[in-house]
Amino acid sequence: MPNDRTPRTITPDEAAALVQPGHWVDYGGALTYPDLFDQALARRKSELRSVKIRGCVTMKPRAVIECDPSGEHFLWFNWHFSAYDRAKNLDGRCNYIPMNFGEAPDYYRRFIDPVDVVCIKTCPMDEHGWFNVGPTAAYLKAMTERARVVIVETSRAVPYAFGEQCALHASEVDYVVVGDDAPLPELPNPPITETDRQVANRIIPEIEDGACVQIGIGGMPNAVCAVLKDSGLKHLGIHTEMFVDGMVDLIESGVVDGSRKNINRGLAVYTFAGGSQRMYSFLDRNTATQVHPVDYTNDPAIIARNDRVVAINNTTQIDLQGQAASESDGHRHLTGTGGQLQFVRGAYASRGGKAFICLASTYERHGQRKSRIVLSLTEGNVVTTPRTDTMYVVTEYGIVNLKGKSLAERATALISIAHPDFREDLERDARRVGLIPKHWV
């Protein structure tokens, strides 16, 4: 490590040589994953054993994983699964680390030890000696503070973002690898289905002018953005975890201007972005958007400082008591807790706030249609939002608010928005176990 703390430019192979067997290596998350360093580290496979690599939302295949199918040399750990991470988890190559995303910086500062080597992708150093990390603040500052060696792989493809804790000064960096400026990975937007639109259309009447929205990832949240654009609503704000493509349309159309926000007025605030090249270009040096660390964006107390916060998130299964399982399918892990619970709580605490948990009423498996609203969660399913926190639940068949409702009222309400083909069985099962009393009408 240079004694004067001035970063020294080195080759990818020289950077990879800093990693030793048993080291913990961090790649950051989403758009910050390095490429040349990753490839160079993979080339050292035969020299290394049990190198443990942490990431979050892997957006394209990684060389260290693809070169080592046995997992003998490189072990992969992840804070939130993408489709790639999920596939590697099924192969036994990727292991999930549970967390509320907004707590990630605190995890690094209090519990994560060691962090031997960090390598993240950044903009080239600017004239003031700063390496801008682009539209991914998340937990990067806390992570680099704990690292024994900090390497940046520069790329002109990284959008330059404004905000808080979105840059590393040269004095905080040990080594620089000059990257290849290849385009950043894009996150495809799932097509919007008719069910997605039906769910979105049930949510829109619940949103008021001047509301501040958080919108998750997926077809349903995308549909909400599409419907919001033509809703006639005005002066919406954005305070969210992930910046998604639909938000570009909302800002460019004038539906979102942030003028009614109590904090960060006039600004769309987020902690990381993932989507299309169009969106990356939109965020580049855009003074109407700000990236902040995730312990700011996802803190329920900070979320609640804006009025009329609307949190819109997906779930994959909900039971008749209102427990939402949004991150697993039994013992098979799918995604992660992310910010769902923190935004549900922040929206509830906001003056006039509303939290929506969205789901299609059914899904197909092995040619059979099954209900996502169930008496009991699938064995092994992880509860993301507890029944005490669940507020609005929305399917294509209706919208119900569970706050203040007894167990019998909750079960009855949720059955009313299940697919009609499953309602009779759900009610019979609920009565059989006493969730709905025998004489309840």
Which residues participate in catalysis according to the annotation? Answer: 241
Which is nearest to 276 in space by CA: 200, 183, 346, 338? 183
Q: Which residues contact 264 (CB under 8 A, 6 or more apart)?
A: 239, 258, 290
* Three-class SS state of 11: coil
CB atoms within 10 A of CB 12: 23
On whether the CB atoms of residues 50 and 62 are closer than 8 A, the answer is no
Q: Kindly list the distances between the CA atom of residue 219 and the CA atoms of 190, 226, 313, 323, 347, in Å, as whole numbers in the listed order.
A: 5, 10, 11, 22, 21
CB atoms within 10 A of CB 131: 24
Q: Kindly list the distances between the CA atom of residue 270 and the CA atoms of 68, 240, 241, 288, in Å, as whole numbers in the listed order.
A: 35, 5, 5, 11
Q: Is 312 exposed, middle or buried (0-12, 13-18, 19+ CB in 10 A)?
A: buried
User: What tokens does 316 get?
Assistant: 């994959």
Beta-sheet strands, E only, within 249-351: 268-270, 272-273, 289-291, 309-314, 317-319, 324-325, 328-329, 332-333
Give the helix ranges, DSSP H, for 44-160: 63-66, 83-90, 104-110, 140-146
d(CA 138, CA 293): 5
On whether the CB atoms of residues 138 and 272 are closer than 8 A, the answer is yes
